[in-house]
Amino acid sequence: MFSFQTASTTMQAISNFRKHLRMVGSRRVKVQTFAERRAKSFSRSWSDPTPMKPDSLHDSRDSGDLQASSGTLDEVVCDDVDWEEEEEMERQACEGDFIPPKIMLISSKVPKAEYVPNIIRRDDPSIIPILYDHEHATFDDILEEIEKKLSAYRKGCKIWNMLIFCQGGPGHLYLLKNKVATFAKVEKEEDMSNFWRRLSRMMSLLNPEPNLIHIMGCYVLGNANGEKLFHNLKRLMRPYTIEFKSPLELSAQGKEMIETYFDFRLFRLWKTRQHSKLHDYDELL
């Protein structure tokens, strides 16, 4: 048995995470002049998902191939996992004073994303922010960083709750440059489907409730394709039990989500300044 109490060593570890947070994938960024950065900032649009052929979502032949290939991959993943061994390893990692980690993925595409780690709940050391470079990071970069942060938090532990803070819209997530997650693409694009499969291996086997992934920064459930996207993601991540939620921030469920990860007062302050050009933003926080 293990208890979920705040450990001083965990508090110190998470404090260090937040002090020395770096942007994942930013090592590939080349030096740009101020003029280049300004030109890019004016021309960039958050809603520039990769174009899709009109018939790509309705090709029954491709759909059949996808179902067959997905089934094969599911079998491979299942056969490769020793569930009892993994569960026992996680159980040992959770012994003593332990708070299940909450991973927070923050896309640099979110306006004022660099300030998000500053508005996280300060009374919850289990929240682990990971800021990644939308333009240059890869899925492998993100997964490697999650593994590294989990190991530093408590070797062998797994994710119980996760927040993905990125841009997108009804029926899609804009995860990385030229990588838009839709209900069709998460199955059709191998690197994207592998990302969700590998992410599932980092989710808890001990959690008595479904492991929860919150989506924030966009309202994925704005149309029927959002439900299809979540359905396909849950299927890709089987046999791990995952629940996806994407509530409106102004709803009661949205407020609950915000308060799970953020200091609500600071979050509201950040939102009011999110599109501001003020230079004293640091002082506000």
What is the rounded distance in angstroms from the CA atom of residue 30 to the CA atom of residue 93?
Answer: 40
Indicate the DSSP class of residue 126: T
User: What distances in angstroms separate CA 134 from CA 64, 107, 179, 250, one per listed residue?
Assistant: 32, 6, 10, 26
What's the whole-model pTM score? 0.73
Q: What angle do CA 115, 121, 126 make, to 5 degrees?
A: 110
The answer to whether residues 237 and 186 touch, using CB atoms and an 8 Å cutoff, is no
Mean pLDDT within 190-201:
95
CB 281 within 8 A of CB 115: yes
CA separation for the pair 80, 97 (Å, rounded): 31
- Tell which residue, 130, 129, 126, has the closest CA to residue 94: 126
Q: What is the pLDDT of residue 110?
A: 94
The mean of the pLDDT values for the chain is 77
Q: Which residue has the tokens 């992410």?
A: 199
Confidence bin at 283 (pLDDT 50/70/90): low
Confidence at residue 273, expressed as pLDDT on a 0 to 100 scale? 82
Mean pLDDT of 78-106: 82
| Residue found by looking up tokens 């520039």 in the block | 48
Phi, psi of 176 (to 5 degrees): -140, 165
Pairwise CA distance, residues 129 & 19, whole Å = 11
Alpha-carbon gap, residue 244 to 183, rounded angstroms: 14
pLDDT band at 135 (very low <50, low <70, confident <90, very high): very high
Give the 3-state secondary structure of residue 57.
Answer: coil
